[in-house]
Amino acid sequence: MEGRKLQLTGGSTYVVSLPKRWVTDAGLKAGDTVFLEPQVDGAVSIRAHPAEKPLARRRVFEEKGEERRDHLLRKLIGAYIAGFGYIEIRFKPEAGPFVRRVARDFSRMVIGPEVIEESRNSVVIQDLSDTAELSAEKCLRRMHLTVRAMHEDALQALRAHDDALARDVAQRDQDVDRLYWMVAKQYNLAHTPGGAIPDSKGKDELHNYRLIAKLFERIGDHAERIARTYPVFGDRGLDPKLLKELEAARESAIAILDKAFFALLTADVESGNEAVDDLDRHQKLIDGLSHHVASKKGEELLALAAIVDSLARTAGYASDIAEIAIDVAVARTAESP
């Protein structure tokens, strides 16, 4: 192993010289381009030519009979998250309509996979997504904007007696799921031998992103849960005073979420701590709501209890994001020179 010093040129560019023998053996000359590729362990590989794209991993499922739709979907999603670029489903001809329908449903549920080949007894799905175009950080940014809008619209649907808006919130939860699966896939690819790390993210950072993506996914679930209470209230709507208290709790939960995500993006420990500390104040709003809701009866009581619980859990998940953001910020500070 040979050590070489970094040199600073132009005030902002670092350069390092390459061994003359390596340059000569590679057939390179001054002005030629070399290719740098970050590795999983933090090293950088220098190549005279672009690395060949690794062959996509293949997963084959043998379907013995027509199983439950959800069971086959879960297997397909599991293969996608594991990073298999080709998924083949083999089946008896009589099960063809069922398998093809599930395969197309799966392709609509996730980002990238498309059915590229069909026969009487098999379907092949290929993942066409490019993790460089939709990195884990981009996924988190989209998830943050989506779930906060979902929570706002869920209560707006109850306030305005808007059935279409309530349904739209529920549908957007599928978009959040798609982004979560994308982040989970990138995490698993980074931990696969020979797998590339998108945007040069390290394993630890992708691990944190995966945890946060799961928390965003749960926050989206709770926005959907709130929206699905709409039929209980219908045109009658909610008591204005109660609705005002619910709105205050929603704003409180989303404020915690915004501070937590800001702390993650900026490595701001202070914002992370503020988000965690705000959870106590939020809990007081939840306690007041719980007392107010306790006077209701029947389906209305159950629906309102679900809303209050979802607002409490949303703030709790946001606080969890803030704690991860603090850990990330502290780790980055320790790595700084």
Nearest-5° angle of CA 145, CA 321, CA 334? 120
pLDDT tens for 101-112 read: 999 999 999 999
Q: Pick the residue with more confidence: 205 or 42?
A: 205
Q: From CA 118, how far away is CA 313, in angstroms rounded?
A: 44
Give me the pLDDT at residue 332, please. Answer: 78
Give me the pLDDT at residue 53, please. Answer: 60
Give me the pLDDT at residue 168, please. Answer: 96
Q: Which two tokens stand for residue 219?
A: 């926050």
> Residue 1 domain-assigned?
no
Residue at which a domain ends, from 127, 150, 167 = 127
Range of the domain at 221: 136-335
Give how many domains the chain has, as a whole number.
3
Shared domain for 88 and 145, answered yes or no, is no
Shared domain for 30 and 97, answered yes or no, is no
Give me the pLDDT at residue 2, please. Answer: 74
Shared domain for 123 and 154, answered yes or no, is no
Nearest-5° angle of CA 267, CA 41, CA 320? 35
- Rounded to two decimals, what is the model's pTM? 0.81
Give me the pLDDT at residue 21, please. Answer: 85
Cα–Cα distances in angstroms (integers) from residue 236 to residues 10, 15, 231, 270, in the given order: 69, 69, 10, 44
How many alpha carbons lie under 13 Å from residue 22 in its C-beta half-sphere?
A: 8
pLDDT band at 193 (very low <50, low <70, confident <90, very high): low
Give me the pLDDT at residue 321, please. Answer: 98
Is the pLDDT assigned to residue 14 strictly greater than 80? yes
Give me the pLDDT at residue 84, please. Answer: 92
Give me the pLDDT at residue 201, please. Answer: 58
Give me the pLDDT at residue 41, please. Answer: 57
> Residue 261 domain-assigned?
yes
Is the pLDDT assigned to residue 145 strictly greater than 80? yes
Give me the pLDDT at residue 334, please. Answer: 61
The mean per-residue pLDDT over the stretch 175-181 comes to 96
Is the pLDDT assigned to residue 337 strictly greater than 70? no
Shared domain for 118 and 143, answered yes or no, is no
Q: How many CB atoms lie within 10 A of CB 283?
A: 15
Q: Are 194 and 313 in contact (CB under 8 A)?
A: no
Is the pLDDT assigned to residue 155 strictly greater than 70? yes
Give me the pLDDT at residue 29, please. Answer: 85
Is the pLDDT assigned to residue 335 strictly greater than 60? no
Shared domain for 162 and 259, answered yes or no, is yes
Shared domain for 98 and 164, answered yes or no, is no
- Rounded mean pLDDT of the chain? 88
Nearest to 222 by CA among 319, 321, 158, 309: 309
Shared domain for 114 and 65, answered yes or no, is yes
pLDDT tens for 214-251 read: 999 999 999 999 999 999 987 777 888 999 999 999 99
Residue at which a domain ends, from 127, 159, 183 = 127
Residue at which a domain ends, from 100, 127, 154 = 127
Rounded percentage of the chain residues whose pLDDT exceeds 90: 61
Shared domain for 207 and 268, answered yes or no, is yes
Q: What is the CATH number of the domain that holds 217?
A: 1.20.58.220
Shared domain for 186 and 166, answered yes or no, is yes
The mean per-residue pLDDT over the stretch 191-199 comes to 61
Q: Which two tokens stand for residue 252?
A: 């409180």
Instruction: Name the β-bridge partners of 62.
Output: 90
Q: Are 85 and 56 in contact (CB under 8 A)?
A: yes
Q: What is the CATH number of the domain that holds 81?
A: 3.30.110
